[in-house]
Structure 1
Amino acid sequence: MKKTWIAVAVVAALPLAGCGGSAPAGAGGGAQDRATGDPIKIGSLHPLSGSAAADGQQMENGAKLAVEAVNAAGGIKSLGGAKLELLSADTQGKPEVGQSEAQRIVSEGAVALVGTYQSAVSATVSTVAERNKVPFVIDISSSDSLLSQGYKNVFRIQPSSKVMGTQGAQYLSEVSKAAGKPAAKVAILHEQGPFGTTVKDGFAAEAAKLGMQVVSAVSYDPASVSDFTTQVAAVKASGANVLMVSGYYRDGVLLAQAVKTVKPGLDAVFGVANGAFDVPQFPAEAAGAGDGFFDSNYHFDAKNPETVALAAKFKAAYKAEMRTGAVLSYDAVRVIAAALEKAGKAEPAAVRDAIAQTDLASLIATKGPISFDETGENKNAMPILTQVQGQKVVQVFPADKAEAKPVYPASPGQ
């Protein structure tokens, strides 16, 4: 087994030559003072405590595995085999904490940052990165506003909220029509922050274009919600045949329990950028209540042998099933390592310019390699559709990413 792990580390590090570009060093919190032989510092900012701690720890562990893989494969060869060092910070899911921790890590000499899970936290970290001219690679945070500021040092791997909302409506339309039962009336339940609101807006606009009627749209506070029975009862009364849900993990499990209790008579519970419905642990934690649930979301590519190997390594190391967030953080560190390799300088400005020219195969299901446009968006990012079938999350659409065919109607909660 140890030989297998080493092979995975080497394979994961092989694509590091896939991007180009360099520039003279700029500001960067003392990174230029790195002595020969010192490790190159990368900041990792995620919620390691609070309501999103389970996701944050997954992402932290994914970043750690990426650093270990690069170091095991010989480090940054263009810098004499320099090793990477991860500087970790707990944002607690709070914007002000994320901001102060990002500044601390930059002051300690980080040449780049990855994070943060919550869009509101990524917004404050982005301001720190831009002010200090230190590149920030967003692994998870979907709010469209993050890359609408004209920042030059902020990049995002996952698709934006608008892309996920729009594509989610298209997937629902295509799958339901192919099953001979087109989705007609949709109720929406979404978390109230910029993430959930933007996903809702994108979905609702596209759904209307595709002939679906949005009969209700209700928001909630994911940090304080404890039960969804009232909301699901209202969905039942609305006559909706599909419930679209956009939110986080804990609230996704609570929603599944409410659907099982109320039995709203839906054709589908259809997650869009839902933080629960495509997570390997969800079917067991929902105790069967989530069977048939869909999720249109960024997702690790279960058909990619390298991703499968990483999942096995993650489980062996952390005694837990790997979630997509861990893979996005893993890829974010790989993007930075690739940029360091090409730039040949452990300087934020040079790393930033190399990141901007990234062309790196991803372990996430995408349309192509990680490649950023002028705003910092990953041009090839896309969601795919998963479904809980037989107490397991499987990829079901588009066809080239599918492990199984979608089951529609799914009659969740019945």
Structure 2
Amino acid sequence: MTDITRRHILGASLVVAGTMAMPAVLRAQTGPIRLGTLTPLTGSGGSYGPVMANAVKKAAEEINKAGGINGRELLIISEDDQTSPEAGLRAARKLIDIDKVAAIIGTWASSVTTAVAPVCSQSGVFLSTVSGAESITQLPHQGFLIRTQPTTTLQGIKFGEFALSNNAKNVAFVSPQTPFTESQYASLTKVVTAAGGKTSSLIYDDKKTTLRTEVDQVLRSKPDAIVMGGYTNDTAVLVRDLYRASFSGQLYGFAYAVNKQLVDALQGDVSEGIYTLAPSPAEGSGAYKHVAQLLGIDTPDTYSCQVYDHLNLIAMALAVGKGDTGTVIKDNIRKVSQGGGERVENAVDGLKLIAEGKKVDYDGASGPCDFTDIGDITDAKFRYEQVKGGKITLLKIA
């Protein structure tokens, strides 16, 4: 196994090549199949991107050790999108034009995916993402895109149902402007108003160091619950200013924002009681346990589980299609994810069956990987948690 590092993973790029037990001449004749990861190694998503990139690397190493894809190794080239559309687009162009990847795996922020998806489809490069904005799969991607993250419309519904279950009647939605802001608020409003409640919204500048003016404006509507739609840094500012304004109602946030980093950064009583919601990985499944083992952590996050699934699906699609292009992945990925074959939880087992001429049906660490015609995941479970005593505590998975 050979690791080739171009730059430090938090600085920019990481290139990982796995070598197999095969003659050097054969490797030279066929060459590796190049795949890219584009995750937020820095910026707002920086607490997730490095682990995501490592999950893909580990999964590729495992496949390479088992013989690769039809006798060819996988070469993983990782880039940092910096949680920025501009940086993400530059990195995607490098992966496509210079590195000649067949697929890009793992875009996290919806704004980055929105910028990158058209370039991928125009170049015939397959894109797998963990972004949730409703608009992403409505882009003209010609089938070169799948996502394992539930849409923000579904997440807005879940936030509304969660607040109603806690007897909230007047729900405010407070968020920076993102590609998913409008769809999430609309779905939240639909659920709450259908139950006789009411909603309001406020958009803020996520670069501000204080949001006290915005907080005062929100509190004029006397909400008994506030759903926060931002990322970790701006959510921390919002939570702190709500505490200083003596807001005593319920707070809800995305689990990627209200995370250990936020809780550790704020005094215990400031973050106490915040509810969080996130898509749940398939805890208890063999695939989930395997990701935990690969990464050396007890509870891998949903994004690492999702990109692990992306790599496995792409590897098996390439094997079925006997090729190395984005078009081969596009044409075959549903054949291995929902083709009605033998159930598998990792690509190594799946590739053996494919080599025997058998069909496979992959269920992964993030759950069943079945996709609609436009690339959305068809079903997902959610994880509901609450900050209690300075720790994020599981309430339920449903």
TM range (shorter): 0.7 to 0.9
In 1, the alpha carbon distance for the partners of 2:53 and 2:267 equals 27
Structure 1 unmatched ranges of 5 or more: 1-33, 177-181, 402-414
Kept in 1: contact 2:159–2:227 (CA 8 A): no
Higher relative strand content: 2
Amino acid at match of 2:388: Q
Residue in structure 1 matched with residue 347 of structure 2 by the alignment: none
3-state SS of 1:137 partner:
strand
1:64 aligned partner: 57
Deviation string for 1:110-131 (max 9, x for gaps)? 1111131222221221111111
Question: How far apart, CA to CA, are the structure 2 residues paired with 1:254 and 1:68?
Answer: 40
Aligned pair count reads 345
State the one-letter code of the partner of 1:100.
Answer: R
Secondary structure in 1 matching 2:47: helix
CA distance in 1, matches of 2:67, 2:391: 37
Q: Relative CO higher for 1 or 2, CA cutoff 8 Å, sep ≥ 6?
A: 1
Which amino acid is 1:201 matched to?
A: A
Contact 1:141 1:195 in 2 (8 A): no
Identity, in percent, stands at 25
Q: 1:194 aligns to what SS in structure 2?
A: coil
Query: Structure 2 matches for 1:76-87, cutoff 5 A?
Result: 76=69, 79-80=70-71, 82-87=72-77
Q: Distance in 2 between matches of 1:394 and 1:38?
A: 48
What is the match of residue 184 of structure 2?
199
How many angstroms does 1:309 deviate by?
5.2
Separation in 1, partners of 2:213, 2:284: 39
1:226 Cα deviation from its structure 2 partner: 1.9
* 2:117 match: 126
Q: What is the correspondence of 1:4-403 to structure 2 with a 5 Å cutoff?
A: 36-76=29-69, 79-80=70-71, 82-107=72-97, 108-138=99-129, 140-151=130-141, 152-173=143-164, 175-176=165-166, 182-214=167-199, 216-222=200-206, 224-266=207-249, 268-271=250-253, 273-277=254-258, 279-288=259-268, 289-304=270-285, 306-308=287-289, 310-311=291-292, 313-315=294-296, 322-357=300-335, 358-359=337-338, 360-364=362-366, 366=367, 369-398=368-397, 401=398
The 1-side partners of 2:252 and 2:365 are apart by 24
Are residues 349 and 58 of structure 1, via their aligned partners in 2, closer, same or farther at CA, if it must alter by over 3 Å?
A: same
- Deviation string 1:123-160 (CA, Å, 9 cap, x unpaired) is 2211111111221111x222211111342211111011
CA distance in 1, matches of 2:267, 2:54: 26
Is 326-335 or 304-313 further displaced after alignment? 304-313
2:5 is aligned to none
Shift of 1:302: 4.2
Given that 1:340 and 1:351 are in contact with CA atoms closer than 8 Å, whether structure 2 keeps it comes out as: yes
Distance 2:365 2:383 in 1: 13
Separation in 2, partners of 1:361, 1:135: 20
The two structures have a TM-score, normalised by structure 1, of 0.75
CA distance in 2, matches of 1:284, 1:155: 34
Question: Contact 1:190 / 1:220 at 8 angstroms: preserved in 2?
Answer: yes
CA distance in 2, matches of 1:305, 1:253: 35
Q: How far, CA to CA, are the matches of 1:137 and 1:350 in structure 2?
A: 14
Question: What SS is found at the alignment partner of 1:88?
Answer: strand
TM-fit CA distance, 1:382? 4.5
The C-alpha deviation readout for 1:368-400, integer Å capped at 9, x for no partner, is x111111111112343322223433343234xx
Secondary structure, counterpart of 1:342 in structure 2: helix
Q: Which structure 2 segments of 5+ residues have no match? A: 1-26, 339-361
Q: CA deviation at 1:339?
A: 1.6
Residues 213-266 of structure 1 deviation map (CA, whole Å, 9 limit, x = unaligned): 11x3111233x1323334334444432111111111222233333333333111
Distance of 1:149 and 1:232 partners within structure 2: 35
- Partners of 2:150 and 2:109 in 1: CA distance: 14
Go from structure 1 to structure 2 and tell me whether the alpha carbon gap of 1:263 and 1:74 turns closer, same or farther (over 3 Å shift). Answer: farther
The equivalent of 2:358 in structure 1 is: none
In structure 2, relative to structure 1, the CA distance for the partners of 1:96 and 1:231 (3 Å cut) is closer
Q: Give the 3 Å change call, closer, same or farther, for CA 274–194 of structure 1 in structure 2.
A: farther
SS at match of 1:238: coil
